[in-house]
Amino acid sequence: MTLQVEILKQKFNQSLGLPFKELLPESVIEQGLWELKVKYKKRLFDPFITLWAFLSQVLDTDKSCHNAVSKIIAHLAGQGVEIPSSDTSAYCQARSRLPEQLLEKLFGKAAQNLEEKVKTEHLWCGRNVKVIDGSSVSMPDTGENQTAYPQPTNQKPGCGFPIAKIGVIFSLVTGAAVALAIDVLNTHDIKLARKLYSFLKPNDVLLGDRAFCAYADLISIKNLSCDAVFRKHQSRHTTMRKGKIIGSSDKLVTWHKPKKCPKGLTMAEFSALPLTLTVREIFYYIVIPDFRTEGVSLITTLLDITTYPTLKTVQLYYQRWQVELDLKHLKNTLGMDVFRCKTPSMVRKEIYAYLLAYNLLLPFDVVSRYYLWYTSKSPIAARYSPSFK
């Protein structure tokens, strides 16, 4: 999939005009503007031309506004209309007028269109799996950016760049980004995750690493009629003396409500938590040579071992690495690592523009990455040892 997106990116960069006009029709943008009740004037740099140019700009090797305006001129040259000036001020002003909510809405719509193409046989045990993770991005060192997204505290003033923390949910079946949260660098991953739970749909399964494995969050996910598969947090210990054994590496355990209110929760939210929660714990060893992790303990709210067998659950967690590859792909292949915009609002628009372009470039003949991987020879399927410590 990475190679396919790279090929499409190169094709779009080499084409004249505004190639995103074909992937993001004017009618779709018009619908988004109508839903947000956004009014605009009929002018050269209307929301349609501006958005198509913005998407091409973030993916282009030359990300300058001059290059974006040149693409607009090439597009209009074939329309038989008056060619605008090559000055960039009008385009920059039009880009700043684009509502952030419009980019967010179109980004979500592009992900939804991909998921609508997925067939039931491509899902994991009939469930749609979403993968969550966090990363960081830097931006120009301006006063506004430093105020909104301060540089790391261990750097001296003037020696670093503003950095934002982002949390992203990807669809495992399509590879599309479906939700985004942006905050300051020192924000914990779980705080970003709590902003993203609202994007989950009933019957989804959320897959994540140990940073997201918290009592309150498992309950929040269950309350949304969803389930979770997380690696167990290192502060909890695995033992055979507690729980009900349901398999050779599988047991049901009861977690108790924390005695103190965790950070990030209000007292009202803490008081509403139930006193106990039953979860399923799977412990296994990975015996792949030179593999960094040897013992893994998974926590999941999928309690039915018949519907969700142990091996399939272990294989699913192995696919969590896909989100690392997706984020790396966004940064390396598409260039979403260092942003160019000089204000926080434009930086957020730039992030959404990257994710929207990424979703639009994903192949239309969607086939589940998990399905392809699961039906092939998986190293984790044949080379793990189920056992409790």
In angstroms, the first-to-last Cα distance of the chain is 38
Beta bridge partners of 82: none
Helix (H, G, I), strand (E, B) or coil at 301: coil
Is the distance from CB of 111 to CB of 178 less than 8 angstroms?
Answer: yes
State whether the Cα torsion 72-75-77-81 is positive or negative: negative
- Contacts of 66 by beta carbon, 8 Å cutoff, 6+ apart: 86, 88
User: What's the whole-model pTM score?
Assistant: 0.86
Structure tokens at 238: 């695995």
Give all domains of the chain, ordered by start, each with its CATH number: 2-98 (no CATH), 101-386 (3.90.350)
- pLDDT tens for each residue of the chain, 389 residues long: 444 555 445 555 556 667 888 889 999 999 999 999 988 887 778 899 899 989 988 888 888 888 888 888 877 776 666 677 778 898 899 999 999 999 999 999 999 998 888 888 888 999 999 999 888 899 999 999 999 999 888 888 778 899 999 999 999 888 889 999 999 998 988 999 999 999 999 999 999 998 899 999 999 999 999 999 999 988 877 665 677 888 888 899 999 999 999 888 899 999 999 999 999 999 888 777 766 667 788 999 999 999 999 999 998 988 887 777 777 777 777 778 888 899 999 999 999 999 998 888 876 444 445 445 444 444 444 344 444 43
- Contacts of 249 by beta carbon, 8 Å cutoff, 6+ apart: 282, 283, 284, 310, 386, 387, 388
Q: Would strands 204-208 and 250-256 be described as parallel, antiparallel, or unpaired?
A: unpaired
